[in-house]
Amino acid sequence: MINIESKIEVLKQKCAEANMRLTPQRIEVLKMIASTDTHPDAEAVYEAVKEVMPFISLDTVYRTLASLEDLGLIFKVDNELPKSRYDADLSPHCHFICVKCGAVYDIHMDNHIEPPKESFKYGEVLQTNLQVKGICHKCRG
Amino acid sequence: MINIESKIEVLKQKCAEANMRLTPQRIEVLKMIASTDTHPDAEAVYEAVKEVMPFISLDTVYRTLASLEDLGLIFKVDNELPKSRYDADLSPHCHFICVKCGAVYDIHMDNHIEPPKESFKYGEVLQTNLQVKGICHKCRG
DNA sequence: GTCACTGCAAATAATTTGCAAAGCA
DNA sequence: TGCTTTGCAAATTATTTGCAGTGAC
């Protein structure tokens, strides 16, 4: 589980560094993503944050997600579905993705994966990630 | 390099099995994807196939890509960009993806990657794939 | 007070779908 | 011939953007 308070603290620092403001919208969006392991999409973040902040708009959610991603606090889960889904857990882990319903489950790992040597032929490596695709228990029925 | 003739042969078989017709559009789209290592998106497939088949429409390309994917002849490369990109190479390999320009390069591997044990907790595993993200030489400048 | 951020509404980009005509089996 | 597929055009979905008012610093 992610420590939300420390996550907000990092947001505070990074906003200051980047000349960005610490708005309640940014705090709530980050809190929401960090407090769930469902890897929500923009719509899901919007619905959840609206509960506590009824006047937030969907486009602010989109903009906030982009800002938080720029700051390195969250990242998009790679999937081949049309909707982007977000993750605030920066520890080494990968994802089980259900190809039927799109559900994303965390698979914890001790270390980040070493990139194959051939990778360096193509450029500077920033990160590697392993993805496991399958059919989740719920969809298997 | 993929053997295109045998790929078309597989298309022929699978179409017959699935009660789908072997149309020239399907043949050309598959040929195009199998004959390049650029992992083209729908638009790029459309532009290339138009050279040899000027009356093909973009929506047929989309439908054809979906059909070929259903038949297991091609698959989407996972990326976090808005456009889907396709690959016809079914041998074990993974991708270097440039986060700036979206270019996709193949990284060949001897074997498919074993899924972490934790994967099986979530459902039936269909495939694993490793992704390497970075900045390609062209974008580094 | 200033300038980044928000909410609203409208725009854009990628992809999908309804329908009638065309073509593979 | 029958039923899948195509091409056209219009619709849909996810996301982005312009602008004027608002609020964090």
A23 touches strand C (CB under 7 A): yes
**Distance (Å) from the C-alpha of residue A75 to the closest C-alpha of chain B?**
10
Q: Environment class of residue B81 by beta-carbon count within 10 Å: exposed (0-12), middle (13-18) or buried (19+)?
A: middle
Residue A57: CB partners within 8 Å, gap ≥ 6?
Answer: none
CB atoms within 10 A of CB A137: 13
Report pLDDT for A141: 77
Q: How far apart are CA A126 and CA A121, in angstroms?
A: 13
Q: How far apart are CA B1 and CA B19, in angstroms?
A: 29
Q: What percent of chain B has pLDDT over 90?
A: 91
Predicted confidence (pLDDT) per residue in A44-53, tens digit: 999 999 999 9
Pairwise CB contact (< 8 Å): A126 & B99: yes
Contact A102, A81 (CB under 8 A): yes
Report pLDDT for A57: 98
Q: CA B84 → CA A3, A132, B65, B110, distances in Å?
A: 35, 19, 10, 26
The answer to pTM > 0.85 is yes
Of B126, B132, B135, the CB nearest to A99: B126
Of A109, A119, A123, the CB nearest to B140: A123
Residues of chain A short of pLDDT 50, as ranges, are none
Residues of A in contact with B135 (CB under 8 A): 123-124, 126
Q: Is A96 helix (H, G, I), strand (E, B) or coil?
A: strand
* Residue reference for tokens 């650029």: B38
Query: Which residue from A26, A25, A22 is spatially nearest to A12, judged by alpha carbons?
Result: A22
Pairwise CB contact (< 8 Å): B135 & A123: yes
Contact B26, B62 (CB under 8 A): no
Residue B35 (CA) to nucleotide D3 (C1'), in angstroms, measures 32
**Distance (Å) from the C-alpha of residue A2 to the closest C-alpha of chain B?**
20
Predicted confidence (pLDDT) per residue in B62-86, tens digit: 999 999 999 999 999 988 789 999 9
Report pLDDT for B80: 79
Q: How far apart are CA A80 and CA B8, in angstroms?
A: 25
Lowest mean pLDDT among A42-56, B39-53, B98-112: B98-112
Name the residue with the least CA to C1' distance from nucleotide D7.
B57
